[in-house]
Structure 1
Amino acid sequence: MSKESRTVRTQKCHGRAITALVGCTALVLAVTGTSAAQAQSRDVARQTLGAGDGWAAYGTGTTGGAAADAAHVHTVTTWDAFKAALADGGTAPKIIKVKGTIDADGPDCATFAAPGYDFDTYLKTYDPAVWGRAKNLDAEPDDSPEGLRRASAANQDAYIKANMPANTTIIGLGKDAGFKGASLQIKGVDNVIVRNLTFESPLDCFPQWDPTDTADGNWNSEYDSAVVYGSTHVWMDHNTFTDGEHPDSTLPYYYGRIFEQHDGELDIVKGADYVTASWNVFADHDKTILIGNSDSAATAAVDRGHLKVTLHHNLFSNLVERAPRVRFGQVDSYNNHFVGGDDYSYSYGIGMESQLVAEHNAFTLPAGVSAAKVLKKWKEAPVTAADNYVNGTLTDLIAVHNAEIPAETLQSGAGWTPTLRTRIDPPKAVPGIVDHCAGAGRLG
């Protein structure tokens, strides 16, 4: 791509809203390798991941349901219809078009409660002043308040989770398609595309109290908006992930700890491989993306050599942490825009045997927040961090981290060089491009 054509596209994305959207359409066509004439003649739902576009393009590439016949193309408006469409035809290629916002929450939390479950009784039984802080609740019998909580949680689990089959494309129609309270399970399958959808995070109705989690105890919740679990060739593109109407600031406190009802927005775990997340918005959340979910020997045996993930042209806005937190895998993160909020903790978590490459990104941090916080060291692992800009200034993220946090010195050089990239925008231009073009409703 010539410098001149790149400049033209950048200027389009810096323009007025309608001009920016025209520029976004051009960017989408360029990234997917589709000409304007081809785009007019084919259904966007049949678009496949372009050659070289991140790890999901490796090997066989990612085509989703592009080869679906007419009998396996569905348009859905309800949660039941969506689940039925997923089940239709097994692993035959399928396209599911989502129209409008589909509510996967159910009528209310009381719908999922097991007979006999009572939250006030739960609080009285496990109050640290009564139960103590020395043991967790896992061994509690089925007829105990914790056992009834587990049964209630199982009811919600069965309702809000939807299992993706192989060779599937899920795409939102227009600018207002998505899911409220759904948890997409991309588990043990190959070749899945998810595009142009807004995900409002599931709200766990039945978090578990663990008095042994930190000195003060914690409420632990389930349900990611989407989880890639042991799957391969997955493309997540132009989606928006948010807590929506239920940010953490609206959640109550019990036992002096926040009643946490959110988990992650996108988790990639258990030997998953060849994933590209492009042009998404991740907003208003705490624990955002987890790549590799444990340091344990059993997990290492599954994850080591896998978890190859590319993150590019995503907007991470008003997040606390994990954008992403990485264990094991080779993760390439470039041309993303990170906008820190008041509760900002860190962006990149450097974990067990991770090989993170973070290049050509832009960071917009609040006044008083140091660039040293961008990287967070959890375990000894090398990282490549080059050509990144913080508040418009070229910044060596490793050097500033090591200077200000010498007790957690990071080593430079991830040990590999990414080759699966389609375009690299100048990091100074990234905020204008990504802020205007990323997220649901901006597919073109």
Structure 2
Amino acid sequence: MTNPRSNFTRRCALIGGLGLSAAALAACTPGGTPASDDSASSDGGGDGAITFWHYYGGAATAPIEALVKRYTEETGVEVDIRYIPFGDFNRTLLQAATGDGLPDIALVNAFDTALFADSGMLLDLSDRVTEWGQQDSYFAGPWATTQVEGATFGLPHVADTYALWTNTAALEAAGAKAPTTWAETEEAAIAASGDGTFGLAFCGINGVEGATAWLLRFLAAGGDVTEFASEAGTTAMESFQRLLQDGGISEGVLTWNEDDTYTQFRSEAAAMMINSASYLTSLAEEAPDLKFEVLPMPADAINVSWLSAENLTITSSASNPDAAWELLTWMQQPEVMNEYLPDRNKLPVRTDTAEDEQWQEPIKKVFVDQLEVAWAPDEEVAPASAEIFTAAQLAMQSVLSGSTSVDAALTELQKATDDALGA
């Protein structure tokens, strides 16, 4: 991991995998110049201020900008914060690395931390963390995403988990009880469907996002994401196949993102949905009369939820890593995060932060409690997770569309997974 040439080669491979232009790839050659595209040529050193890149768009931009502004007001330290759209973020960061144009701080997806660390782009924070001594204050799942080969390459920033949202009136009308297992969820979804409504909604759109619900079903069956051609794979695929054939879900799930899923539930077109905590505020504002309950993700062989999280990292070319570290640790304070998190509809990553009374509200507590069982890919799988999850969605899509049998879809998914892992 410390070999400069291997890190250089790794960065070029990653950039090539993202499909950049020939001009961008030329920047990977020894002595090459970085691409001239504005999104990647910004000087990470800035004017002496701490440079901070993130991908929080829409309503999420203002809270992160307000947070760093507060830091400047309290400390006098300037922070040059820059928003890069999520779809462009990894590409921009990798491209910037070829020309030493990285920022001081990069907020990265938790699943991508190992990928960037492996490419030599992130600073090893292990010694700083040991001296800081607060690593035991974090939930195990978020903290694990910062670890690569026993070293720490980031600090968790925020988290989210997934749960089963239920319209209590719709389930009562269908004579269905609040489900706790996947078998009960299937029964409730089928019972609550009819007259243009469906029992369960989830995101199944093409790409990584659309794999989450099926992967949750697969993991609950005891699945291992390196072994899809398995009993757990069959159980999960046949479960979703039954839901479609028996009317419990709509074929529309294959076109819905998480916002669409929320709309189906809010408008009462779906009696249940699988979704994250991100929609709590929206639902309270947009459907104040809707009676709903949030339940832990249904169990099968195990209880499991999904971890969605971001990590704060310091890049290996940071102009002032000490100043960057001061900002990172300031942002980790419970009193700071408990003011910031409600504006983000996100969950705390630290157990001491989660002790605040706002997280003891019944609905929020369901999501927080699931941090104890929230799954994230380990450091071996994480760098290939986007390829694997995309292939999982395609397998689910092929089965639900009727174009492929369960066995054939799982066989193809296994091959894609093996290829992604280099097995």
TM-score tier by shorter-chain length is under 0.3
Q: Which has the higher strand share?
A: 1
More RCO (CA 8 Å, sep 6+)? 2
Q: Higher helix share goes to which structure?
A: 2
